[in-house]
A and B are shown apart, each in its own frame.
Chain A
């Protein structure tokens, strides 16, 4: 069971289809009072469904991205006396039974990332995407001096020291909330570690497939990698 001072933050954008299923599975592991949904400007009834379900829900006036949603969660945690934050996906991709594994990781590290690739199961990712992810992993691992296998995972935890820093400075650009935030942690002298988790294919929401869409998301990812390199390689 999750400890009392731990807040599970769920950034949600137009997850009307999946959110109730996700919350239903989550509450058998986490008490409702330890769950916060951050509705990132959803156009549908995501926020209403969460409130009806009985979990605390903060609504951003319009869509700001996962980074800003999580910064909202970190700030909430800080102001309401939570000392650990676990990030959990609204679409049902993350499995609640691994929240404890993340939480245990926070005894050792300030920032813990749940990696899909530590367990050598067959989590499916496209070829080009997987190459880009491997490149990112390699670069980030070298820069922060910790071997990581899944830097784009959104299943992660933050200690109270990390909450303190992330509530003020959490990157909000594309990939900022995953990759760049690890650099912020490293530069702020937070320790970063990884634990193995298993994930599920998403239950609802809009997956980004189709050749045009995946080409676009790939280009965006490469752009983000470029910006990441500009941000982190030249400066010592």
Chain B
């Protein structure tokens, strides 16, 4: 039962990622992070033994520790990506606001 529900959850996450890409609500550059996450979730749900095996290989005593570490790493990458994206947006916004101010000034004064 647990396996079925985790599988359902993983499939739902994967479907939602694909759905968002198709609906264009996710830009290409962010897809690169989310597709691997969706795939890994499905793989782990179908073959729970894979995470136990990986934990053993890397020397984790408990498999869930590996999962938590992966979660932290992924989330850090995503947050960093978002901060970088916001910085880019701020720069672009500044350009737009300056340009609008100058255009408005031109309209008001050059008539």
Chain A residues with CB under 8 Å of chain B are: 38, 56-62, 64, 68, 71-72, 75-76, 79, 172
Q: Identify which of B98, B102, B104, B105 contacts A64 (C-beta below 8 A).
A: B98
24 contacts between A and B (CB under 8 A): A57-B105, A58-B101, A58-B104, A58-B105, A59-B101, A59-B104, A59-B105, A60-B101, A61-B101, A62-B97, A64-B97, A64-B98, A68-B94, A68-B97, A68-B98, A71-B98, A72-B98, A72-B101, A72-B102, A75-B98, A75-B102, A76-B102, A76-B105, A172-B94
B contact patch SS: helix
Determine if B100 is an interface residue (Cβ-Cβ < 8 Å). Answer: yes
Closest to A60 in B: B101
- Give the number of A-B contacts (CB < 8 Å): 34
> Which 5 pairs, one residue from A and one from B, show the smallest C-beta to C-beta distance?
A58-B105, A72-B98, A60-B101, A58-B101, A68-B94
Looking at B100, B101, B102, B104, which has the most chain A CB atoms within 10 Å of its CB? B101
Interface size class of B (residues with CB under 8 A): under 10
Distance between Cα atoms of A146 and B59 in the complex (Å): 56
Contacts of A60 in B (CB 8 A): 97-98, 101
Q: Complex formed: what's the CA distance from A64 to B91 in Å?
A: 10
Contact code string B17-35 (vs A, CB < 8 Å = 1, else 0): 0000000000000000000
Chain A nearest Cβ from B110, distance in angstroms: 10
B111 within 8 A of A: no
A58 contacts across to B, CB distance below 8 A: 101-102, 104-105
